Amino acid sequence: MLIAFNKPYGVLCQFTDRREPPRRTLAEFGFPPGVYPVGRLDLDSEGLLLLSDEGPLIARIIHPRHPWPKRYLVEVEGDIGEEALHRLRSGVLLRDGLTRPARARRLQAPPSWLWPRDPPIRFRKRVPTSFIELTLREGRNRQVRRMTAAVGFPTLRLVRTAIGPYRVEELAPGEWTVLSPPSAAPVLASAPRSAADHRDRR
Protein backbone atom coordinates (compact mmCIF):
# COMPACT_ATOMS: atom_id res chain seq x y z
CA MET A 1 0.00 0.00 0.00
CA LEU A 2 1.18 3.51 -0.82
CA ILE A 3 -0.52 6.56 0.70
CA ALA A 4 -0.16 10.25 -0.12
CA PHE A 5 -0.76 12.62 2.79
CA ASN A 6 -0.78 16.41 2.87
CA LYS A 7 1.02 17.00 6.15
CA PRO A 8 -0.06 20.21 7.87
CA TYR A 9 2.36 22.60 9.53
CA GLY A 10 3.17 21.57 13.09
CA VAL A 11 2.62 17.81 12.69
CA LEU A 12 5.42 15.36 13.50
CA CYS A 13 6.29 12.63 10.98
CA GLN A 14 5.80 9.95 13.63
CA PHE A 15 2.91 8.34 15.46
CA THR A 16 3.91 9.14 19.05
CA ASP A 17 5.56 12.01 20.90
CA ARG A 18 7.12 11.73 24.34
CA ARG A 19 7.42 15.47 24.83
CA GLU A 20 5.11 17.13 27.33
CA PRO A 21 2.80 18.56 26.31
CA PRO A 22 2.72 16.21 23.29
CA ARG A 23 2.77 17.70 19.82
CA ARG A 24 0.48 16.70 16.96
CA THR A 25 1.44 13.42 15.30
CA LEU A 26 0.33 11.17 12.44
CA ALA A 27 -1.82 9.19 14.88
CA GLU A 28 -4.70 11.66 14.61
CA PHE A 29 -5.30 11.13 10.87
CA GLY A 30 -6.69 7.58 10.82
CA PHE A 31 -4.14 5.81 8.65
CA PRO A 32 -4.42 2.03 8.11
CA PRO A 33 -2.37 0.01 10.61
CA GLY A 34 1.17 -0.92 9.69
CA VAL A 35 2.09 2.04 7.48
CA TYR A 36 5.20 4.13 8.10
CA PRO A 37 6.47 7.42 6.65
CA VAL A 38 8.67 7.14 3.57
CA GLY A 39 11.37 9.62 4.56
CA ARG A 40 10.57 12.65 6.66
CA LEU A 41 9.17 16.15 6.53
CA ASP A 42 10.12 18.60 9.26
CA LEU A 43 7.66 19.78 11.91
CA ASP A 44 7.67 23.28 10.43
CA SER A 45 7.30 22.11 6.81
CA GLU A 46 4.12 21.21 4.96
CA GLY A 47 2.99 19.17 2.01
CA LEU A 48 3.40 15.74 0.51
CA LEU A 49 4.40 12.83 2.72
CA LEU A 50 4.24 9.25 1.45
CA LEU A 51 3.48 6.34 3.78
CA SER A 52 3.68 2.63 3.04
CA ASP A 53 3.61 -0.81 4.65
CA GLU A 54 5.89 -2.31 1.97
CA GLY A 55 9.58 -2.43 2.86
CA PRO A 56 10.90 -2.98 -0.69
CA LEU A 57 8.81 -0.08 -1.99
CA ILE A 58 10.09 2.23 0.75
CA ALA A 59 13.68 1.22 -0.06
CA ARG A 60 13.08 1.86 -3.76
CA ILE A 61 11.77 5.37 -3.15
CA ILE A 62 14.55 6.49 -0.78
CA HIS A 63 17.52 4.54 -2.22
CA PRO A 64 20.51 6.93 -2.03
CA ARG A 65 21.81 5.99 -5.50
CA HIS A 66 18.51 6.57 -7.29
CA PRO A 67 16.28 8.65 -4.99
CA TRP A 68 13.01 9.91 -6.37
CA PRO A 69 13.15 13.66 -7.09
CA LYS A 70 11.38 15.84 -4.55
CA ARG A 71 9.92 19.20 -5.55
CA TYR A 72 9.39 22.05 -3.11
CA LEU A 73 7.60 25.38 -3.14
CA VAL A 74 9.67 27.76 -1.06
CA GLU A 75 8.83 31.26 0.13
CA VAL A 76 12.06 33.06 0.95
CA GLU A 77 12.83 36.35 2.61
CA GLY A 78 14.09 38.90 0.10
CA ASP A 79 13.96 39.53 -3.62
CA ILE A 80 15.85 36.51 -4.93
CA GLY A 81 17.67 36.93 -8.22
CA GLU A 82 19.38 34.88 -10.90
CA GLU A 83 22.75 34.81 -9.14
CA ALA A 84 21.32 33.03 -6.10
CA LEU A 85 19.26 30.70 -8.29
CA HIS A 86 22.41 29.79 -10.25
CA ARG A 87 24.17 28.88 -6.99
CA LEU A 88 21.26 26.65 -6.00
CA ARG A 89 21.40 24.93 -9.40
CA SER A 90 25.17 24.48 -9.29
CA GLY A 91 25.45 23.13 -5.75
CA VAL A 92 25.78 24.88 -2.40
CA LEU A 93 28.57 24.20 0.06
CA LEU A 94 27.07 23.23 3.42
CA ARG A 95 28.73 21.94 6.58
CA ASP A 96 28.20 18.36 5.40
CA GLY A 97 29.55 18.99 1.91
CA LEU A 98 28.51 20.27 -1.50
CA THR A 99 24.90 19.64 -2.47
CA ARG A 100 24.03 17.97 -5.73
CA PRO A 101 22.91 20.22 -8.59
CA ALA A 102 19.25 21.14 -8.22
CA ARG A 103 16.55 22.60 -10.39
CA ALA A 104 15.59 26.08 -9.27
CA ARG A 105 13.35 28.72 -10.75
CA ARG A 106 11.60 31.80 -9.48
CA LEU A 107 7.80 32.01 -9.61
CA GLN A 108 6.04 35.27 -10.29
CA ALA A 109 3.34 34.34 -7.76
CA PRO A 110 2.42 31.33 -5.62
CA PRO A 111 0.25 28.74 -7.42
CA SER A 112 -3.50 29.23 -7.17
CA TRP A 113 -4.00 25.93 -5.32
CA LEU A 114 -1.73 26.87 -2.40
CA TRP A 115 -3.62 26.92 0.88
CA PRO A 116 -3.08 29.58 3.59
CA ARG A 117 -0.66 28.51 6.27
CA ASP A 118 -1.97 28.08 9.79
CA PRO A 119 -0.46 29.93 11.57
CA PRO A 120 0.53 32.49 8.91
CA ILE A 121 4.17 33.41 8.48
CA ARG A 122 5.40 36.58 10.14
CA PHE A 123 4.79 39.53 7.83
CA ARG A 124 7.43 42.27 7.60
CA LYS A 125 6.16 45.24 5.62
CA ARG A 126 9.59 46.52 4.59
CA VAL A 127 11.04 43.15 3.57
CA PRO A 128 9.82 41.57 0.30
CA THR A 129 9.41 37.85 -0.16
CA SER A 130 9.87 35.62 -3.20
CA PHE A 131 8.58 32.20 -4.24
CA ILE A 132 10.86 29.64 -5.85
CA GLU A 133 10.42 26.06 -7.02
CA LEU A 134 13.29 23.79 -6.03
CA THR A 135 13.76 20.14 -7.05
CA LEU A 136 16.30 17.95 -5.24
CA ARG A 137 17.56 14.39 -5.64
CA GLU A 138 18.96 14.04 -2.14
CA GLY A 139 17.55 14.35 1.35
CA ARG A 140 19.89 15.88 3.90
CA ASN A 141 18.57 17.18 7.19
CA ARG A 142 16.75 20.51 6.66
CA GLN A 143 18.51 20.78 3.32
CA VAL A 144 16.24 23.28 1.57
CA ARG A 145 16.35 25.70 4.49
CA ARG A 146 20.13 25.44 4.74
CA MET A 147 20.57 25.93 0.99
CA THR A 148 18.46 29.07 0.74
CA ALA A 149 20.09 30.53 3.87
CA ALA A 150 23.54 29.83 2.40
CA VAL A 151 22.74 31.92 -0.68
CA GLY A 152 21.34 34.77 1.43
CA PHE A 153 17.58 34.13 1.32
CA PRO A 154 16.21 32.45 4.46
CA THR A 155 13.21 30.16 4.04
CA LEU A 156 9.96 31.47 5.51
CA ARG A 157 7.62 28.73 4.29
CA LEU A 158 8.39 25.30 2.86
CA VAL A 159 5.85 23.08 1.08
CA ARG A 160 6.80 19.77 -0.55
CA THR A 161 4.66 19.58 -3.67
CA ALA A 162 5.83 16.35 -5.34
CA ILE A 163 7.77 13.12 -4.81
CA GLY A 164 8.56 11.32 -8.05
CA PRO A 165 5.30 11.13 -10.04
CA TYR A 166 3.04 11.99 -7.12
CA ARG A 167 1.77 15.50 -6.37
CA VAL A 168 -0.01 17.15 -3.45
CA GLU A 169 -2.34 19.53 -5.31
CA GLU A 170 -5.35 17.18 -5.05
CA LEU A 171 -5.23 17.07 -1.26
CA ALA A 172 -6.19 19.64 1.35
CA PRO A 173 -4.01 19.87 4.49
CA GLY A 174 -4.70 16.83 6.67
CA GLU A 175 -6.19 14.74 3.84
CA TRP A 176 -4.73 11.47 2.55
CA THR A 177 -5.48 8.97 -0.17
CA VAL A 178 -4.32 5.56 -1.38
CA LEU A 179 -2.27 5.77 -4.57
CA SER A 180 -2.05 3.58 -7.62
CA PRO A 181 1.16 1.51 -7.94
CA PRO A 182 4.27 3.56 -8.73
CA SER A 183 4.68 1.73 -12.04
CA ALA A 184 1.36 3.18 -13.19
CA ALA A 185 0.24 6.74 -13.85
CA PRO A 186 -0.02 8.93 -10.72
CA VAL A 187 -3.77 8.51 -10.29
CA LEU A 188 -5.52 8.69 -6.96
CA ALA A 189 -6.91 5.26 -6.16
CA SER A 190 -9.44 6.44 -3.60
CA ALA A 191 -11.24 9.59 -2.54
CA PRO A 192 -9.24 11.81 -0.19
CA ARG A 193 -9.81 11.17 3.50
CA SER A 194 -9.38 13.47 6.46
CA ALA A 195 -9.07 13.23 10.20
CA ALA A 196 -12.78 14.08 10.41
CA ASP A 197 -13.62 11.02 8.28
CA HIS A 198 -11.64 8.87 10.72
CA ARG A 199 -13.53 10.28 13.69
CA ASP A 200 -16.86 9.64 11.96
CA ARG A 201 -16.00 5.95 11.44
CA ARG A 202 -15.11 5.29 15.08
Would you please indicate which residues are annotated as catalytic (active-site) residues?
A: 42
**Rounded-to-integer distance, Cα 20 and Cα 143, Å:** 28
Q: How far is CA 81 from CA 76, 107, 111, 129, 151, in A?
A: 11, 11, 19, 12, 10
**Rounded-to-integer distance, Cα 54 and Cα 99, Å:** 29
**Rounded-to-integer distance, Cα 80 and Cα 139, Å:** 23
Judge contact between 145 and 94, C-beta under 8 A. no
